[in-house]
Structure 1
């Protein structure tokens, strides 16, 4: 029976952000990639609204023993879920997760949604600016030029900054893999080290020449780190059963 894997995207993320993970792990795992309703959040506690959405999604699909993977905002939600439902999460994987510190200038988006500015902000996400393709920039620009979507993004971003997770991290019982870009400027490497120190069973893998979204910028390295970790976890489980 295949294990369940859930992939949670970031604030400006798209389901396509996980294409490389789906391609590598799709045959061996049942993978779920929910589209987080970032643009439809209420004014009150939008981050908890998204957590509630994920809880209902998991319940509706009757998922158990989950490998929960989150990037940026998705990592933040994954932390909240793992702390609240420790029996449901078999492994937690965080990459560029918010929740401790995040270097953003979200407040300037509504006033500065020019193509040049958005191009610069998208490039800032990656170590290699070439990863910020025209299509990716166009997706973000479309969001920032839509008033409703832009307000939704701002609500969630501000809510995420308010929900500091340091007190929850010691409660996480799931073995945790942290995959971080060494050149991440949004959640710098020191943030990953703080996650590693605060989560009881955490391992940090650092990818060189990589920014805030390793699964997009360095997909082979990201997949290798995840595969090695899961292989090791399976080996440990097997050794305990014999």
Structure 2
């Protein structure tokens, strides 16, 4: 489909209330493989490739966080099923928040996993500066040495079952997209939005997440009215892959409760 002149691809499986999955930086909709497989029995599960990722068209010049949110809104409207449960992990959670800022009527519930209110909104300034410098070094590498897998994504080794998928997705990452995502994340600050969220909100966090530590989760819990936090033992930043059964169970039960 085309949204504002940008071709956007998404996968849609299953039947039931729409559950839209928003991937993190440096990957695409394939990161939601276990959720696409396990939740389709009860929900219409949708995993998009954001502009500049996967099967979607290249990222237009000057594309901002609000533009990502508007494209995500277009996907939900294209489904034609009304408001959706919207789940975002890491950068994807920040995009989901921006969607809620602009189009709250499209959001039935929010599921925010291992995410940020933007780096600026969730991390100390010195940590943001260190990450920005790391992004600059990464983007300066020759294309054949470019590695989009950021440090600290997993509490241990990546789950063996998903290594082929992770390798394939990493091989398709476009450096210009990843750079745009991460520089936008560095400047984003969604803290003003959190107390204004009026839809049911689930927070799902890996206990051992070092990229978005549990302190960030507790800040979300305190700021968002009625938010519920589920901590997944032993999981890191990519909690949907390290603890897929527990992740899926938390999402399933939450969406059922707010059907």
Superposition TM-score tier, normalisation by shorter sequence: 0.7 to 0.9
TM-score, normalised on structure 1?
Answer: 0.83
Match of 1:128 among 156, 175, 185: 156
Match of 1:8 among 22, 41, 45: 22
Q: Which runs of 4+ in 1 moved over 6 A?
A: 113-117
Quote the Cα distance in structure 1 between the aligned partners of 2:165 and 2:200. 36
> Aligned to 2:115, what secondary structure does the other structure show?
coil
Q: Which residue of 1 aligns with 2:95?
A: 77
In 2 relative to 1, CA 233–16 (structure 1 residues): closer, same or farther, beyond 3 Å?
same
Contact 1:38 1:50 in 2 (8 A): no
Quote the Cα distance in structure 1 between the aligned partners of 2:168 and 2:222. 38
**1:115-161 CA distance string (max 9 Å, x none):** 99849x55620002243736524642553xxxxx2122112211122
Quote the Cα distance in structure 1 between the aligned partners of 2:171 and 2:67. 25
> Aligned to 2:209, what secondary structure does the other structure show?
coil
Greater Cα shift, 44-53 or 180-189: 44-53
Q: Which residue of 2 aligns with 1:237?
A: none
In 2 relative to 1, CA 142–111 (structure 1 residues): closer, same or farther, beyond 3 Å?
farther
Match of 1:111 among 113, 131, 140: 140
Unaligned runs of 5+ in 1: 144-148, 235-242
Contact 2:21 2:45 in 1 (8 A): yes
Greater Cα shift, 56-65 or 70-79: 56-65
1:101 matched to 2:115: no
Q: Which residue of 2 aligns with 1:66?
A: 84
Contact 1:123 1:129 in 2 (8 A): no
Quote the Cα distance in structure 2 between the aligned partners of 1:151 and 1:183. 29
In 2 relative to 1, CA 117–134 (structure 1 residues): closer, same or farther, beyond 3 Å?
farther
In 2 relative to 1, CA 200–38 (structure 1 residues): closer, same or farther, beyond 3 Å?
farther
* Greater helix share, structure number: 1
In 2 relative to 1, CA 113–130 (structure 1 residues): closer, same or farther, beyond 3 Å?
farther
> Aligned to 1:5, what secondary structure does the other structure show?
strand
The 5-angstrom pairing of residues 12-31 of structure 1 reads 12-31=26-45
Contact 2:76 2:106 in 1 (8 A): no
- Pairwise CA RMSD of aligned residues? 2.5
1:140 matched to 2:170: yes
